[in-house]
Amino acid sequence: MPPRKIIFEKQWFYLDNAIGHIYGTTFEVTSGGNLQPKQEVEETTAETKEAGTDNRNIVDDGKSQKLTHDDIKALKDKGIKGQEIVQQLIENSTTFRDKTEFAQDKYIKKKKKKYEAVITIVKPSTRILSTMYYAREPGKINHLRYDTLAQMLTLGNIRAGNKMIVMETCAGLVLGAVMERMGGYGSIIQMYPGGGPVRAATSCFGFPKLFFDNLHEFPLSKVDSLLSGTFSTETLPSEPEDNVLVEEESNGSTDEKQTSLQETEEEPTTEAAMEINQTEEQETMDVNAEDVEFKENKEKGYKENIREKQRKQWERRKKLIETAALLREKNADGLIVASKFHPTPLLLSLLEFVAPSRPFVVYCQYKEVNRVYYSAVGVINLKLSETWLRNYQVLPDRSHPKLTMSGGGGYLLSGITVVLDKGNSDSSNLEALKMEEPSSKRCKVQDLHC
């Protein structure tokens, strides 16, 4: 297999040399795209430090840097180490010596970031992946900020041994986070819209195969029939040929995007890379199969293909029956919803599968949508909340909150299920749930006064 070229932050390199090093190792990118473990360099700032006290005499004439763009480009082209370029920039800056010590520090940091190409390879985790997704692909995870995800895992009491229901359209990130916290113990039922669950982010975690043994999936479109008792597998995979295709297409395309995302990220693990290669192989296989089908001349391949499809269908059906049975027990230990859909109908239906005295958490990017459910019955301790996250710069004499913070990381509606009163039959209760809370007179007066 030829070495895979990774492109990250305008750099390109090969990962081969990283193998055998421990996670957390920092590498320098050399000219040939090879990685070289970075040596701990003692900062050579021991030389007599010269610094100004204020900027009253510093004038922005645009001529403080004596090196021209072409000079710098020439240095880079010669393959000179970033560290040395930074040193040259400092030496050729006429104002550097007049800057305050803090300003010098800042200048060096900025230049280092630009010229010193170092990458650190770290192990995937919910912390890393959720931070990464929020920074790079917030649209794919419905702008679910990582601290909001952290809240969901805690409020949902996610732990080993649970039987969880997860409905997400966050590229499989929420699913992965739940899987990490469950450590392969217990079971997860993922409800999916469309042709199949998207698990592009899940595959980045590099979970062992065992974690997938008790991961089930159930199509959202069959929830109503399951609840009303008309669910049957006979009506099910009559359309799977299209479905399977759609599923693989959509999975394929997200995986493709995932590849590019990973390439631009710092830790494409070999496992994740393998995963991608596998799906790619699968894809090409399917495409070939299609071709064969269209040509209709290679009978043998066609028959094998049919048999393979039937086998897959049968397996899908079997898994579906198992999952339906798991849901029918209506004893799940919690419900996590984080999707692009309106959460109220999801919650109203899916909560029926949850045992009493269990927590549920619903994420929505918008406060307005989440509060619609607020007045429902059958649940207690309802809370609509949001978290704010503020990062700090902590340096001697220069500590302060970071200049920018995220404006919004979404809203959570959480609560606990309870045993429904026997008086209300299920259906009438549902009707009551679907109705908006009658606007209370008491509120009116209070609200006007606040």
Partner 1 sequence: MSFVEYGDTIKDGDTAIVFLGHESMFPVKVQHGTVTQTKYGVIRHSTDLIGKKYGSKVTCSKGGWVFILHPTPELWTMNLPHRTQILYSTDISIITMMLELKPGSIVCESGTGSGSLSHALIRTVAPTGHLYTVEFHQQRAEKAREEFREHGVEHLVTVTNQDVCKNGFGVSNIADAVFLDIPSPWEAIGHAKSALKAEGGRICSFSPCIEQVQRTCLAMEEYGFTEINTLEILLRVYNVRTISLQIPDLGKAAEDNSSTGFDSRNTSNQGSPCANLQQGTVQFKSGVPLREMVGHTGYLTFATKS
Q: Using CB under 8 A, which residues numbered 116 to 145 contact partner 1?
A: 125-127, 130
- Least distance from C-beta 97 to partner 1, angstroms? 27
**368 counts as binding partner 1 under rule CB under 8 A:** yes
Q: Which stretches of 116-156 are DSSP H helices?
A: 126-136, 146-155
Burial class (CB in 10 A: 0-12, 13-18, 19+), 188: buried
**45 counts as binding partner 1 under rule CB under 8 A:** no
Residue 425 CA: distances (Å) to CA of 187, 226, 350, 378, 406: 30, 18, 17, 12, 45
**190 counts as binding partner 1 under rule CB under 8 A:** no
- d(Cα 233, Cα 41) in Å, to the nearest integer? 65
Nearest to 214 by CA among 323, 126, 125: 323
For partner 1, the binding residue among 162, 187, 323, 365 (CB under 8 A) is 162
**394 counts as binding partner 1 under rule CB under 8 A:** yes
**381 counts as binding partner 1 under rule CB under 8 A:** yes
- d(Cα 344, Cα 382) in Å, to the nearest integer? 14
The contact mask relative to partner 1 for 282-321 (x = CB under 8 A, - = no) is ----------------------------------------
| Beta-carbon contacts of residue 270 (< 8 Å; ≥ 6 apart) | 15, 19
Radius of gyration of the chain (CA): 28
For partner 1, the binding residue among 31, 55, 94, 154 (CB under 8 A) is 154
| Cβ atoms 186, 161 nearer than 8 A | yes
- Least distance from C-beta 347 to partner 1, angstroms? 15
The contact mask relative to partner 1 for 430-449 (x = CB under 8 A, - = no) is -----xxx-xx--xx-xxx-
- Return the structure tokens found at 315: 């397996």
**181 counts as binding partner 1 under rule CB under 8 A:** yes
By CB under 8 A, which span of 67-75, 100-108, 226-234, 386-394 interacts with partner 1? Answer: 386-394
Contacts of partner 1 in 396-415 (CB under 8 A): 396, 399, 411
**428 counts as binding partner 1 under rule CB under 8 A:** no
If the CB atoms of residues 15 and 129 are measured against partner 1, the closer one turns out to be 129
For partner 1, the binding residue among 233, 385, 425, 428 (CB under 8 A) is 385
If the CB atoms of residues 245 and 389 are measured against partner 1, the closer one turns out to be 389
Strand partners, 35: 29
| Cβ atoms 136, 322 nearer than 8 A | no
- Least distance from C-beta 356 to partner 1, angstroms? 3
| Cβ atoms 374, 357 nearer than 8 A | no
| Cβ atoms 201, 173 nearer than 8 A | yes
**208 counts as binding partner 1 under rule CB under 8 A:** no
- Least distance from C-beta 58 to partner 1, angstroms? 29
Secondary element (H or E) of residue 275: helix 270-295
For partner 1, the binding residue among 12, 102, 314, 388 (CB under 8 A) is 388
Residue 41 CA: distances (Å) to CA of 109, 116, 151: 15, 13, 40
**416 counts as binding partner 1 under rule CB under 8 A:** yes
Site residue total, partner 1 (CB under 8 A): 73
